[in-house]
Amino acid sequence: MGPRTSLTLGEGMHGIAENAFINVKGRSFTVTAEIEVPAAGANGVILAQAGRFGGWSLYTKAGRVHHVYNFGGLERTTVSSPQALVPGRHTVRYEFAYDGGAPGSGGISRLFVDGQKVGEVRVPRTVPFVFSADEGVDVGMDGETPVTEDYAQGNNRFTGRILKVTIDVPPPAARN
């Protein structure tokens, strides 16, 4: 991705290789998803990278928004919204503020819905180099092994509509 600091993805993009996706390891980053929740509510994955043995996922379950960070299949850290999304259009934003320092350092996970912070949790450590050699990034599903046991393998497609998902990292001079 070179010096690129932003990448916008659309619903249905699956299997994006790690080296064809903005590198979010060892830095702060933001994921912003524009979604529509149907009258029946929304469940499923909005965006996931990698799988059971390391990665992260932004998803809904019982209408509530969650982000899970999976450190090598050993430790999962989840931040969740306290309430379910009402039907209609929403902006879901996840922010990771990296501590900086040695590879694999931790940071703060923050979750926002429609501009309001709905959750915050500390991620004690992060995957320093590679999430997975064979599991990529998926929009609207987690196509291989699931990042979390909170949803099933092969049955985690987002039941709402994803208008777009944008991943942003700071420019090189501002990176931590």
Half-sphere exposure of 116 (CA within 13 A, CB side): 8
Per-residue pLDDT band for 78 (boundaries 50, 70, 90) equals very high
Asked whether the predicted pLDDT for residue 110 surpasses 70, the reply is yes
Asked whether the predicted pLDDT for residue 39 surpasses 60, the reply is yes
Q: What is the pTM for the complete model shown?
A: 0.95
If you average pLDDT over residues 75-101, what whole number do you get? Answer: 97
- For the chain, domains (ranges, CATH) are 6-171 (2.60.120.200)
Enter the tokens of residue 123. 């991620």
| Beta-strand runs (E) in 63-136 | 64-71, 75-80, 88-98, 107-113, 116-123
What CA–CA distance (Å, rounded) separates 122 from 110?
9
Asked whether the predicted pLDDT for residue 125 surpasses 60, the reply is yes
Instruction: For 52-65, give one letter per residue: b (16+ CB within 10 A) or e.
Output: bbbbbbbbbbebbb
What CA–CA distance (Å, rounded) separates 176 from 172?
9
Mean pLDDT, the chain, rounded, equals 95
Place of tokens 């700071």: 170
Per-residue pLDDT band for 3 (boundaries 50, 70, 90) equals confident
With contact defined as beta carbons under 8 Å apart, do 109 and 94 qualify?
yes
**pLDDT of 42-71, one tens digit each?**
999 999 999 999 999 999 999 999 999 999
